[in-house]
Amino acid sequence: MESLDDYQIPYGLMAEFDTPAGVMHAAEKVRDEGFTRWDVHTPFPVHGMDDAMGLKNSPVGWFTFVCGLCGFFGGMLMIWYMNAYDYGIPVGGKPNFSPFASFPVAYEMTILSGAFGSLLGMLWLNRLPRLHHPLLKNIRFADVTHDKFFVVIEADDPKYDEEETRKLLKKSGSKHIELVNE
């Protein structure tokens, strides 16, 4: 043990595939083996992959919904506070606050905060931004945004065993399997 490089911690096994069908069938096998800390990396969203991985429906909608509601009522509250409570502006004998005249602004506020909720909720659920990732150091993995498909099983998965997992990935049709270090 001469250099620090000898103390590398394995991140996981990375298996490369050439086609979306290939990676999808591999994902089905990995799912059926009961792995939990693993992922499929693709250049574009592959249809049916959520089922093949056994993923549930994404909860982003809750962020949108809650933020949208806050936007709507926040908008109404703002207008009521500004035009009826803090400094009433009587115009033409009309009520100082009316939900109808306030609707356009509250509606835009709903959409504005709903949109922020969707984007930030998505980033939060994905734990992004993350500016370092062990896979991003691997030059072969750079093709994941080009035309290659990867299955990655992490070393801290309870079912992970380097030999067995490698065999499983080989059996599911990968032609290139590589150990990625942290």
150 φ, ψ to 5°?
A: -130, 145
Measured from the CB of residue 89, what is the shortest distance to other proteins in angstroms? 5
Q: By C-beta, is 4 or 146 nearer to other proteins? A: 146
In sequence order, the 6+-apart residues with CB closer than 8 A to the CB of 177 are 13, 14, 15, 16, 166, 169, 170
| From 5-13, 107-115, 159-167, 174-182, span contacting other proteins (CB under 8 A) | 107-115
Closer residue to other proteins (CB): 2 or 106: 106
| CA angle at 175 for the pair 171 and 179, rounded to the nearest 5° | 90
**CA-wise closest residue to 11 among 119, 148, 136:** 136
d(CA 98, CA 113): 22
Pairwise CA distance, residues 163 & 39, whole Å = 19
Closest to other proteins by CB, 1 vs 67, is 67
Angle (deg, nearest 10), helices 20-32 and 162-171: 140
Nearer to other proteins, 2 or 32 (CB): 32
22 near other proteins, judged by CB under 8 A: yes
Span 24-83, contacts to other proteins by CB under 8 A: 24, 27-28, 39-53, 55, 57-58, 60-61, 64, 68, 78-79, 82-83
Q: Give the residue, chosen from 1, 129, 158, 163, that forms a contact with other proteins under the rule CB under 8 A.
A: 129
Is the Cα dihedral 131, 38, 141, 118 positive or negative?
negative
Tell whether residue 132 is a contact of other proteins (CB under 8 A). yes
What is the size of the binding site for other proteins (CB under 8 A)?
75
Taking the complex as a whole, the smallest distance from the CB of residue 163 to other proteins amounts, in Å, to 25
What is the nearest approach in angstroms of other proteins to the Cβ of residue 116? 7
Question: Should residue 128 be labelled a site residue for other proteins when binding is judged by CB under 8 A?
Answer: yes
Is residue 1 near other proteins by the rule CB under 8 A? no
**Tokens at residue 14, please?**
């990375």
